[in-house]
Amino acid sequence: MKALLALEDGRSFECRSFTGHGETGGEVVFNTSMSGYQEILTDPSYRGQMVTMTYPLIGNYGTNPEDVESARIQASAFILREYQPYPSNFRSTATLEDYLASQNVMGIDRLDTRALTRHIRTAGAMRAMISTTDLDPASLAARAGQLPKMEGLDLASTVSSDHSYCWKDGRVGPAEDWDAVSSVSAKADSGKRFRVVAFDFGIKYNILRCLERVDCDLLVVPASTPAEAVKALLPDGIFLSNGPGDPEPVTYAVDTIRELLGFRPIFGICLGIQLLGLALGGKTYKLKFGHRGANQPVKNLLTGRVEITSQNHGFVVDPGTLNPDEVEITHINLNDQTLEGFRHRTLPVFAVQYHPEAAPGPHDAMYLFDDFITAMNAGGGR
């Protein structure tokens, strides 16, 4: 079905919708991963965005109910060069087309994704519209310009759970089970298990799987949970999750994190590092086109090693705004020298901008979960 994608700056691309009639809009970004498209689609950090895959052939291994990072597709649309409608994989239970259509998410292909990606790299990520009904480039571009800008948007509140829940054995359970699970775990295990409160700013399931794998009993709480409620739970550690949108409007979380500094060890990922940076007095800014893909080189300044990482973010902490007497920069991106990690010099607090749980082939960054365990073992906090 004929479709059109129009950017707010007037550039347009003819394409085809392989999911039927529809119309949608959002910020257009690109991801350089060669696989993992179902994880990408369901990552809450993509809320409000239309994802362009730079790898040319997508859909060849289908979809399944296991390779998801949240309860639904989060991206506004999926933009491909060539869609493969005949998947070949023993784990596949549905085609990508059926998966997208089942949740009313548009999928388009036969679009020059190389040209679109090069344009975004030059002009920056920008708003766009896709339509099968409005095929006038000028009209569609004008409508794209009326969409909300990503700057100033608190999208974490739109993807966060509205209630607390326990995570056990890879599944969601009632919050009341947390104390029971922790009690049973403590009796059953010879080693210590750690009670962790995880803030849900758009948390990915695989983060929870990784934390559980290193002996954490997890209670996931809404983004708006106040510090007093967290302290009353008496956790061993606090985790700050990834999430979408601009970190600066998420003032309620920044205030909460600031109150929790020094209470217990804190570990943050992606949006978590940005909110932590703001809580420590730093500033954030929007990258031109962001980091999205499974091949981002990051240098660990503490060890000198280079880690190949998976990333998905459009904002970053400005290292020049952090107090060097309090905060030590631990990781940098080797492509553009932006900040990828820091730790507090005296408090058990650290965070990274990338996704150690995504493991894009290498497991270079999985040590961070062990570092969190080490901090909790030391009994950091007041």
Nearest to 84 by CA among 106, 52, 113, 109: 109
In the chain, which ranges are continuous DSSP H helix?
37-42, 96-102, 113-123, 137-144, 156-159, 177-188, 205-213, 227-232, 251-260, 271-279, 367-377
Nearest to 38 by CA among 78, 1, 8: 78
DSSP code per residue over 252-295:
HHHHHHHHHTTTS-EEEETHHHHHHHHHTT-EEEEEEEEEEEEE
User: Residue 235 corresponds to which amino acid?
Assistant: P
Report d(CA 62, CA 3) in Å as an integer: 23
Beta strand 49-53 with 12-17: parallel, antiparallel or unpaired?
unpaired
The answer to whether the beta carbons of residues 163 and 200 sit under 8 Å apart is no
Instruction: List the catalytic residue out of 119, 313, 331, 355.
Output: 355
Residue-level length of the chain: 382
With a CB cutoff of 8 Å and minimum separation 6, the contacts of 364 are: 305, 307, 308, 309
Instruction: List the catalytic residue out of 270, 307, 313, 340.
Output: 270
In 199-350, which ranges are continuous DSSP H helix?
205-213, 227-232, 251-260, 271-279
Half-sphere exposure (CA, 13 Å, Cβ side) for 300? Answer: 16
Active site residue 270: yes
Active site residue 176: no
Report d(CA 346, CA 262) in Å as an integer: 9
Active site residue 357: yes
Catalytic residues: 270, 355, 357
